[in-house]
Amino acid sequence: MFLRCGKVKLDLSQPKIMGIVNVTPDSFSDGGKHLSHQAAIIHAYRLIEEGANILDIGGESTRPGAAIVSEQEELDRVIPVIEGLQNIYVPISIDTYKPAVMRAALAAGASMVNDINALQESEALVVLAKSDAAVCLMHKQGSPQNMQQSPQYIDVMDEVTTFLRLRLQACVAAGIALDRLVIDPGFGFGKTLEHNFEILRNLNEFIELGIPVLAGLSRKSMLGQVTGQAVEHRQAASVAAALIAVQRGARILRVHDVRETVDALKVWQAVNERILEK
Ligand code: 8Y4
C-alpha cells in the first residue's frame, strides 16, 4: 500500500510517523513572527532526525475551545515555515481546513493536506483536485468551538464510517485518486471518552474502506482521563495508544513524541518479522 504525496510515493507497508509541528505565535508579538518561524523550523528538523516520515505543519490550534485564527494570520504563520523547509526529503503536510491556506501551502512545497473538516469547505475539493497532493479526511462532530459540549451518536462506528465513505466518494468524484487519500476517525473531535475508546477498540473496521487509516491520539484528553495525567505527562499513554492503533491497522500515526513512538514501532516490527522467519 502506497500513498502518493506529490512526487513522493510513501510506502505504507510499514506504519509511518507524522510529527506535529505547531507554529504558535511568539510572546514578543511586537517584533514580528521571525522567532516563532525559526522555532518551528528547528523543531521540524529535530523531528526528522528522530525519525518522522511526514511533518504536519499547523498554524491554528484545533484543540477544543481554541480561538479562531484569521486566514491572513494562518498564512503568515505557516507559509514561511514551509518555505524554510525546502531542502527536506520528508513530505510536508499542511494542517488546515481553509482552501486559501491549502492552495498557498501546496504552492510553497507542501504535498499533503490534513483537513479536520474533510474538504467540506467550498473550493477545498477543487484546490486538491488541481494538485497531486495527498489528503487526510478526518471525521468530527460539531466545530472545535462546541464539539465537546454533548457529543451524541446512535452508533459511533457506523456514523464515522458512513461519513468517511461519503467524503471518499466526494473526493473521487472531484478527481482525487484513491491512492492520494487517507482516512481518520478524529479522536477527541466531538466524542466522549466512551466513543473514543470504542473507536480505538474497533479501529480495524476502517480498513474495509480500502484506504490507509491515520490515528491521532497523541497527548489527547482521552489519555488524560484514563491516566489522570496532565497534558505534559501523557507521553507513555500516547505511545501505548499509538501501538494499539497500529495493532488495529493504523498506517500513519500523528504524534508529538516521534523518538519514543519510533522505538515502540521497532519493537512491534521485530515481533512481526520474527514470525516470518520461523
Ligand atoms: C494535547 C495536544 C491535547 C494536542 C490535545 C491535542 C488530529 C488532527 C488534531 C487528529 C488529524 C490535538 C490537526 C488536536 N488532531 N489531524 N489534528 N487527526 N488528521 N489535540 O486526530 O492534537 S489537533
Residue ID of nearest Cα to ligand 1 atom 3? 220
Q: What CA–CA distance (Å, rounded) separates 118 from 140?
A: 9
**pLDDT tens-digit map of 191-235:** 999 999 999 999 999 999 999 999 999 999 999 999 999 999 999
Q: What is the pLDDT of residue 277?
A: 53
Q: What CA–CA distance (Å, rounded) separates 136 from 118?
A: 7
* Whether the CB of 95 sits within 6 Å of ligand 1: yes
Residue type, 249: G
**pLDDT tens-digit map of 85-119:** 999 999 999 999 999 999 999 999 999 999 999 99
- Report how far Cα 104 is from the mean position of its chain's Cα atoms: 19
- The fraction of the chain above a pLDDT of 70, given in percent, is 95
* Whether the CB of 15 sits within 6 Å of ligand 1: no
What's the length of the chain? 278
**pLDDT tens-digit map of 13-27:** 999 999 999 998 765
Domain boundaries, the chain: 2-277
What is the average per-residue pLDDT within 152-180?
Answer: 98
Residue ID of nearest Cα to ligand 1 atom 11? 216
Residue ID of nearest Cα to ligand 1 atom 7? 216
Residue type, 119: L
3-state secondary structure of 232: helix
Q: Is the pLDDT of residue 262 over 70?
A: yes
- Which superfamily does 2-277 belong to? Dihydropteroate synthase-like (3.20.20.20)
Q: Quickly list H helices, the chain.
A: 34-50, 71-83, 99-108, 124-129, 156-174, 193-201, 221-227, 235-247, 258-277
* Whether the CB of 138 sits within 6 Å of ligand 1: yes
Catalytic residues: 220, 254
**pLDDT tens-digit map of 42-92:** 999 999 999 999 999 999 877 666 778 899 999 999 999 999 999 999 999
Q: What is the pLDDT of residue 190?
A: 96
